[in-house]
Structure 1
Amino acid sequence: MEHYDVAIVGLGPAGATLARLLDSRFRVIALDKKRENGGFRKACGGLLAGDAQKALAQFDLTLPKDVLVDPQIFAVKTIDLKTGLIRHYQRFYVNLDRDKFDRWLLGLLPSHIETHPGCVCTDVRRSGSRFILTYRENGRDVSVTADRVVGADGANSIVRRTFYPRRDIRSYLSIQQWFPESHGTPFYSCIFDPETSDCCSWSISKDSQFIFGGAFPKDRARERFERQKEKLAERFGFQFGEPLKTEACLVLRPKKPGDFCCGQDGLFLIGEAAGFISPSSLEGISSAIRSASALASVLNSGVPRENRAYRAKTRKLRAKLLLKVLKCPFMYQPVLRRLVMGSGLASIPIIASKKEGSA
Structure 2
Amino acid sequence: MKHFDIAIIGLGPAGATLARLLDGKFFRVAAIDKKGADSSFQKPCGGLLAPDAQKELAKFNLTLPKDILVDPQIFSVKTIDLKNRITKHYQRMYLNIDRSKFDSWLISLIPKNVKIFKNSICQYMLKTQRGFKIVFDENGHKQEITADYVVGADGADSFVRRMFFPKFNIRKYTAVQQWFKDEHQKPFYSCILDPENTDCYSWALSKDGHFIFGGAYPVSNSREKFERQKEKLSELGFKFPEPVKTEACMILRPNSFTEFCLGGGNVFLIGEAAGFISPSSLEGISSAFKTAKILGDIFNKHKENKHRAYASASRGLRFKLAAKLIFKCPFIYDSAFRKAVMNSGIKTIRTEE
Q: Any residues of structure 2 matched to 1:100-249 within 5 Å, and which?
A: 100-234=101-235, 236-249=236-249
| CA deviation vs aligned residue, 1:65-114 (integer Å, no higher than 9, x gap) | 11000111111000011121001111100000000000000011100010
Residue type at the aligned position of 1:100: K
CA distance in 1, matches of 2:99, 2:345: 32
Partner of 2:90: 89
- 1:315 Cα deviation after fit: 1.3
- 1:40 Cα deviation after fit: 5.0
CA distance in 2, matches of 1:299, 1:65: 33
What's the RMSD between the two structures over aligned residues? 1.0
Using structure 1 for the length normalisation, give the TM-score. 0.96
Q: Any residues of structure 2 matched to 1:1-359 within 5 Å, and which?
A: 1-24=1-24, 25-37=26-38, 39=40, 41-234=42-235, 236-326=236-326, 327-352=328-353
> Percent identity at matched positions?
57
Matched residue SS, 1:272: helix
- Further displaced range: 343-352 or 267-276: 343-352
CA distance in 1, matches of 2:144, 2:72: 45
Q: Structure 1: where are the runs of 5+ without partners?
A: 353-359
CA distance in 2, matches of 1:125, 1:336: 49
In the superposition, relative to structure 1, how do residues 38 and 267 fare at CA in structure 2: closer, same or farther (>3 Å)?
closer
Using structure 2 for the length normalisation, give the TM-score. 0.97
Matched residue SS, 1:194: coil
Residue type at the aligned position of 2:185: G
- 1:168 Cα deviation after fit: 0.8
The answer to whether the 8 A contact 2:41-2:103 is kept is no
Residue type at the aligned position of 1:247: E
Moved over 4 A (4+): none
- 1:174 Cα deviation after fit: 0.5
Residue type at the aligned position of 2:13: P
The answer to whether the 8 A contact 1:4-1:146 is kept is yes
Q: Structure 2: where are the runs of 5+ without partners?
A: none
| CA deviation vs aligned residue, 1:2-53 (integer Å, no higher than 9, x gap) | 1110000000000000000000121111011111135551210000000000
| CA deviation vs aligned residue, 1:174-209 (integer Å, no higher than 9, x gap) | 111111111111100000101111110001111111
CA distance in 2, matches of 1:126, 1:277: 28
- Further displaced range: 39-48 or 106-115: 39-48
The answer to whether the 8 A contact 1:119-1:135 is kept is yes
CA distance in 1, matches of 2:148, 2:39: 31
The answer to whether the 8 A contact 1:34-1:41 is kept is no
- 1:351 Cα deviation after fit: 2.8
